[in-house]
Structure 1
Amino acid sequence: MDDLEWTAEMQYAAAIAAPTPAAVSTRTLPTYGMSGDDRCRTDGHYSSGETSRVCGSPPKAPSEQAAAYINTGIIASEKPRDASMPTHETVEDLEITRTRRIWSAITWSLTWWIPSPFLNWCGRMQRPDVRMAWREKVAICIIIFFIWCVLLFIIIGLGLLLCPREYVWTMSDVAGHNSEKDAYIAMRGRVYDVTQYLNQKHGVPSFIASKDLMLMYAGQDVNASFPIAIRTACPSLVSQKSDPKYSMYLTVADVTALQTFPYTHKVGTMQSSKELSDQAFYTKYVLPTLSLFKKGDVVWDYDWVNSMHKDQGKYWRIINKEVYNLEDYFATIGYPGNTESKWHFLSNHIENIFDDKGAGSTDITSEWERIPWSDKEHQTNYNCMKNLFYVGKVDDRHGIRCLFTNYMLLAFACVLMTIVLVKFLAALQFGNKKRPVPSSKFVLCQVPCYTEDEASLVKTIDSLAGLDYDDKHKLMFIICDGNIVGSGNDRSTPRIVLDILGVDP
């Protein structure tokens, strides 16, 4: 008997048993996976309001009254009833949990751009629950993709964002490029690759700059060999009246640097040279030529700069992460012959900040910004400082910001290694070997074999036969995949198995 007949009979029986006229409405519950006594129906009575569950298999055949009622062709929901009478219906609704509502909201927020009519027409998903299940799978894929993007960003992009890549070199790095095929120089805080320049002819007939002579400059700071006139570097601070012939130069404090190089490129020192006779020699010839070979900036470790200031009393300071060395300036104003005021071309505020006898801070950015001068004066003095005394930048490649991603990846690696170690220790068995719990269930041991030799098959079969499991509940199923003779065997695989088992075909 099908569900429709069973429902109709129950409705009819309830109507007959009712003491007063009644209209009964029932809702058939799903019976998936249930049969016989497992199937139940729920109905209600309008007068008493009680609910009863009718469980068990439907009768083999309906009563004559029920059969007559069913044969009329009127189904239960179409039975005439008095509209004035109330209808009582018991419906069991499952409450949707808060977690489910949140997950549904996340799913729709990730898949809203996929219209339901498209899934209905193209994907043939007519049921809403099927479409929702499909959306959940897509949402999971999107979440996994997003997680992978975040991980890639942390591994690759976050480091570049926190610590952008800079082309910088320490003086130790520059010193390593001192060969004919790899020649670097440092000048005024910048690094230049002059390898190609070594093969170019330059100099004057009376003084040719040979390749061997130029190799003396490779890997060195060449400021002492290429001095810049003060008026050229600071045109707003040194007037034409003070230096009409561009002959004012700083006194080099490091005498060793002067002895390192064979020639000093000063304007007017060689009349036979067209370039050195030009008062704009540095800006017209030196800078344009070096700009073709620029590699980056020189960087200095903060602790080293601080040591030069605090421990040795040198005029090394840091302004906005830029390193300045005023050793030559104070050597110039302290030179016995330089008593004129024109040699004090920098502001008194700058002299006072730098000449603190090691008592002040190495980073004088705040003091620099507190100097009471106009924007024009500030820019004029800054340009002069940058042209004459700039020696590089502070090396922050080893700071916490640049090493953050490395530390984070190291932390992830430590967490993973800890998990692996914990799982390994948890898998170790330090006590006696545990015996399996006796079981009455049957077990099938399947052994596929193809071209194995006799020793391997014997070892496998013996190991299965020796399992600590009841032989009455254990079945060994050996499958020989083809009548094949393996390499090194003198018999086919099925023949070897039969011989091992002692079976005579």
Structure 2
Amino acid sequence: NVDITTSRRLWTFCTWSLTWWMPSPFLNWCGRMKRSDVRMAWREKVAICIIIVLIWCALLFVIIGLGLILCPKEHVWTLDDVAGHDSPEDSYVALRGRVYDITEYVNQKHGTNSYPATKEQMMLYSGQEINASFPLPVRTACPALVSPKTDPKYTMYLTSADINALPVFPFTHRVGLLPSSKEISDQSFYKKYVVPTMNMFKIGDVVWDYDWIRSMHKDQGKYWRVINKEVFNLEDYFATIKSPVNSNNGDWRFLNSHIENIFDSKGAGDTDITDRWERIPWSPRERLANYSCMKNLFYVGRVDDRNSVRCLFTNYMLLAFACLLMATVLVKFLAALQIGTKKRPLTPSKFVVCQVPCYTEGEASLAKTIDAVAGLDYDDKKKLIFVICDGNIIGSGNDKPTPRL
């Protein structure tokens, strides 16, 4: 009896776990495998094939699937990406943190009879952030915070923090600015016409690099913050409430005072204020009202996670595997160079068999090979030269086959 090792027991268990679905009687009757050892050998071969397939599936999952799970594909663009789509055949714009493909729209006729919008004028919008062309009344953006009594005619607009930096567009879609236009004269122009129309062309969101946002906050003291990976810019809000004209008018301070305190930190605190936002003591209704207002009026996009460790994990892992493979090849190459003094083999204490396979070699070649083997640094009393003459073919230049030579 031969003792079965632990490793053999584990391999047998693994083999049966992978091939249990094939019953032994079936192999006996249909496969004509009468002996149990033959059936086991078949199972082991099938188990090895299954293991190879599983390994390849795991590799494919790591290469293709794991990255999509850790970092799902998102349709996002930076403003620089949007700027690259500025042709009549490929026209993008960004509006309040969202990206729209208006290629089809710019080639259509629109505008009013008095103020038609030509294709050339529309191309001035292409590749731009067009917030300045669509100013949003505060009451429209924040209906739960700004009452009809405060702004009965939708005339409250925030003051731009840096009006000189705003792009100049052919049209400004301000409510009541064009009396001849029924749509723009409508006090709900933005909600009724702009939002539904633009939603038909929406393709994704604007994204911002977190380090850039942090620089705006920490280095320049700007009112840029991150809440739950959403980016908000309250520059215009604070420019408005701190303006000498509005400093004594409480109607402009429509946001919760806690929000003002969090944002107005002069570069102190964290750029990501999610924790502080969650700790604000307010009712769910008040929370929703302030968040909706900020999302409509101050939302500029999301944090760009495409270069985060989570999204680049599979790339790093594949790079590590590639480096390991290259290091292995390099070590093998250096080992093959045999740098240094030539090492002599140790004198063996047992017999040495020197095997010389021969097929169609000539007499001179055989003699040279056998002489070289005979000259090896091994004890002649413990050295056996075993010459294998394979085949009866007469090689080129010979007059007899190798065995007869």
TM-score range, shorter chain: 0.7 to 0.9
5+ residue gaps in structure 2? Answer: 373-384, 401-405
Match of 1:287 in 2: 195
Does the CA-based 8 Å contact 1:224-1:257 persist in structure 2? Answer: no
Match of 1:277 in 2: 185
Q: Distance in 1 between matches of 2:269 and 2:143?
A: 30
Match of 1:235 in 2: 143
Identical-residue share of aligned pairs (%): 64
1:377 corresponds to 2:278: no
Aligned pair partner of 1:223 in 123, 131, 140: 131
1:157 corresponds to 2:65: yes
User: By how many angstroms is 1:306 displaced?
Assistant: 0.8
Q: Distance in 2 between matches of 1:462 and 1:292?
A: 88
Match of 1:48 in 2: none
Q: Distance in 2 between matches of 1:369 and 1:392?
A: 20
1:468 corresponds to 2:369: yes
User: By how many angstroms is 1:118 displaced?
Assistant: 2.1
Relative contact order, higher structure (CA 8 A, sep 6+): 2
Match of 2:226 in 1: 318
Aligned pair partner of 2:360 in 430, 442, 446: 446
1:418 corresponds to 2:306: no
Task: Report the TM-score, using the length of structure 1 for normalisation.
Answer: 0.70
User: By how many angstroms is 1:122 displaced?
Assistant: 2.0
> Which deviates the most, 271-280 or 365-374?
271-280
Q: Distance in 1 between matches of 2:391 and 2:285?
A: 96
Matches within 5 A, 1:50-449: 93-258=1-166, 260-338=168-246, 339-430=248-339, 443-446=357-360
User: By how many angstroms is 1:391 displaced?
Assistant: 0.3
User: By how many angstroms is 1:144 displaced?
Assistant: 1.3
Q: Distance in 2 between matches of 1:412 and 1:300?
A: 31
Q: Distance in 1 between matches of 2:152 and 2:363?
A: 107
CA offsets, 1:280-323, max 9 Å, x none? 21111111111121121111111111111111111000101111
Letter of the 2:369 counterpart: D
Does the CA-based 8 Å contact 2:75-2:204 persist in structure 1? Answer: yes
Aligned alpha-carbon RMSD (Å): 2.8
5+ residue gaps in structure 1? Answer: 1-92, 448-460, 481-493
Does the CA-based 8 Å contact 1:323-1:392 persist in structure 2? Answer: yes
Q: CA 1:237 to 1:156, structure 2 compared with 1: closer, same or farther past 3 Å?
A: same
Q: Distance in 2 between matches of 1:145 and 1:286?
A: 54
Q: CA 1:242 to 1:195, structure 2 compared with 1: closer, same or farther past 3 Å?
A: same
Q: How many residues align?
A: 380
Task: Report the TM-score, using the length of structure 2 for normalisation.
Answer: 0.86
Does the CA-based 8 Å contact 2:132-2:167 persist in structure 1? Answer: no
The SS at the match of 2:302 is strand
Does the CA-based 8 Å contact 1:225-1:258 persist in structure 2? Answer: no
The SS at the match of 1:391 is strand
Structure with max Cα Rg: 1
Match of 1:44 in 2: none
Q: Distance in 2 between matches of 1:371 and 1:319?
A: 13
Q: Distance in 1 between matches of 2:316 and 2:357?
A: 52
Does the CA-based 8 Å contact 1:125-1:131 persist in structure 2? Answer: yes
